[in-house]
Structure 1
Amino acid sequence: MMRFSSIGSGSSGNGLLIQSRDTTLLLDCGFGLRDAIHRLQRAGISPESLNGILVTHEHDDHAGGVFKLANKFGIPVWLTHGTFTMVERLMPKQRGFELHVIDSHVPFTIQDLGINPFPVPHDAREPVQYTFDNGNTKLGVLTDTGTSTPHIEAMLSGCHGLVLECNHDLDMLMNGPYAWPLKKRVSGRLGHLDNTTSAAILANLDLSHLQHLLAAHLSAKNNHPDLVIDCLSSALNCERDWISIADQELGFDWRDIR
């Protein structure tokens, strides 16, 4: 069995827990040290029990809290070379944790979990997302990308659990309070996924094993959970309550995949 839980998802900070047998990983940490510890403990996880932190890219809502947490508790960190060059400024002078620089196309293993990074189009130096596999079940994560690619869809096909960005409703974004340059960035090829594009991605995946779909990284100003649920449930032809939303403050509780 594998299980996963969000400690928070949105522009104010992101973190996703993945656990299989004796292995517990944290994907990103965009929270201050005290807040991150509180959020982990709320999920029933002590920071000392983490076997690693994986970083998707350098933006503060994903990487801003990684190195203080890693340094305090001696947690190994995995990230791409491009991300490393952008976050080196955040690292303590006396590093108390192992740092692993990965290739964005090469799978690797952390104890009980096989990890497959894959590159995504986003306005960062060398951004990646990941799938996690324990030999029986597979979890896929896709956030912080402006568009999909055939490679992304190949990586996410066959997942038992899927965390999928639904950042904005395009009409809300275009008629909302953001300045025009920011609207162009968010909606552009290197920005974030809108609800309709995320639904279209689902149509291109093998979903025959899917047990949980979590919509993540919702914009507080340019989206609404009801719009997300309407869009994704229509794409999957499923009941609305089958779609779950990752909240900025509360994330979501543990989901088991078997």
Structure 2
Amino acid sequence: MGLRFTILASGSTGNATIVQTDDVTLLIDAGLSAKKLEERMRERGIDASDIDAVFVTHEHADHVKGLGAFARKYELPVYANEATWSAMERQTAGIADANRKIVATGGEIEFGGLVVRSYPISHDAAEPVGYCFHEGGYKLSLVTDLGYFSDKVKEAVIDSDVVVLEANHDVEMLRMGRYPWNIKRRILSDVGHLSNEAAGEALAELMTDRTKRVYLAHLSLDHNMQDLARMTVESILESRGIFLKKDDDVLKPTWHDRATPWDDVTRRVIG
């Protein structure tokens, strides 16, 4: 099996990802109801009882909506930094003290050969993080919910085989959209979300010969479209002299209402 993953949901209505090796199955964020998490897992051939632990990026509802119910039902250890634990106290009531695991930002945890490393991101949460997963010389990085692509983020995620990268909104669609200005200002700020343009700029710095696939994630339902996100990112890459081979299908979609196919990080191409 090696290192593989499926994104159960991505977007403001809920976020959850499964990362799996031969020895361990992890859930990253639980932004769907426990029932919906179980349904999406079944769609990908996973029994929820097979989950070994949950890792949390930050306390916003679209990342922890089902955390308490799911973790209590399956008596799962939950990993987050101390500030995030404090900020999500209401959502995690009833989780046993023994299952409240603190992992410092920048720290790492190892599960049978799978190393999970967190890194700091800029978002309007208590102490938000992203995660990188290392196994057998391969690397998967989750890079969403950040207002800007900092040097620290680049240092953490560079040389990934597969990247899940936020492309939240088209700037003009957001500016012209129905959200009140204070919400628009938050999204556009350094503690908001990456635009399609910012995603393209970030990817131009991240792309190496090692990069196999990039999933464009956390797309806004109101202020983005998959084709627009893809075209914008491709255009920026081309302006930087980076031309993607169409046959390689490097840029991949994510959805809010269904899971992505399993992706084996060790493979150059997935079917």
Structure 1 pair 149–94 and aligned structure 2 pair: CA distance change class (3 A): closer
Residue 220 of structure 2 corresponds to: 219
Q: Distance in 1 between matches of 2:65 and 2:30?
A: 7
Match of 2:181 in 1: 180
Q: Specify every segment of 5 or more residues in structure 2 that has no aligned partner in the other structure, as ranges.
A: 267-271
The aligned counterpart of 2:269 is none
Shift of 1:92: 3.2
State the percentage of identical aligned residues: 31
SS state at 1:39 partner: helix
Identify the residue that residue 150 of structure 2 maps to in structure 1: 149
Partner of 2:265: 257
Q: Which residue of 2 aligns with 1:32?
A: 33
Equivalent position of 2:64 in the other structure: 63
Hey, which bits of structure 1, 4+ residues long, moved more than 4 A? Answer: none
- Please state how far the C-alpha of 1:206 moved relative to its aligned partner: 4.8
Matched residue type, 1:252? T
Q: Give the root-mean-square deviation of aligned CA atoms.
A: 1.4
Residues matched between the structures, number:
258
Paired residues of 2:67 and 2:92 also in contact (CA < 8 A): no
What SS does the aligned partner of 1:253 have?
coil
Q: Within 2, Cα distance between the matches of 1:17 and 1:93? A: 23
Following superposition, the deviation at residue 233 of structure 1 comes to: 2.5
After the TM superposition, which residues 161-180 of structure 1 pair with which residues of structure 2 at under 5 Å, given as runs? Answer: 161-180=162-181
How far, CA to CA, are the matches of 2:61 and 2:77 in structure 1? 19
Q: How do residues 34-113 of structure 1 correspond to structure 2 at under 5 angstroms?
A: 34-93=35-94, 95=96, 98-113=99-114
Q: TM-score, normalised by structure 2?
A: 0.91
Cα shift readout 1:11-58 (whole Å, capped 9, x = no counterpart)? 110001111112111110111111111111111111111111100000
Q: 1:207 and 1:62 mapped to 2: Cα distance?
A: 30
Structure-1-length-normalised TM-score = 0.96
Cα–Cα, structure 1 residues 94 and 108, in superposed 2: closer, same or farther, change >3 Å?
closer
Counterpart Cα distance in 2 of 1:75 and 1:5: 20
* Structure 1 portions without partners, runs of 5+: none
Letter in 1 for 2:255: D
**1:92 corresponds to which letter in structure 2?**
A
- How many Å separate the matches in 2 of 1:65 and 1:239? 39
Kept in 1, the 8 Å contact 2:212–2:250? The answer is no
1:19 aligns with 20
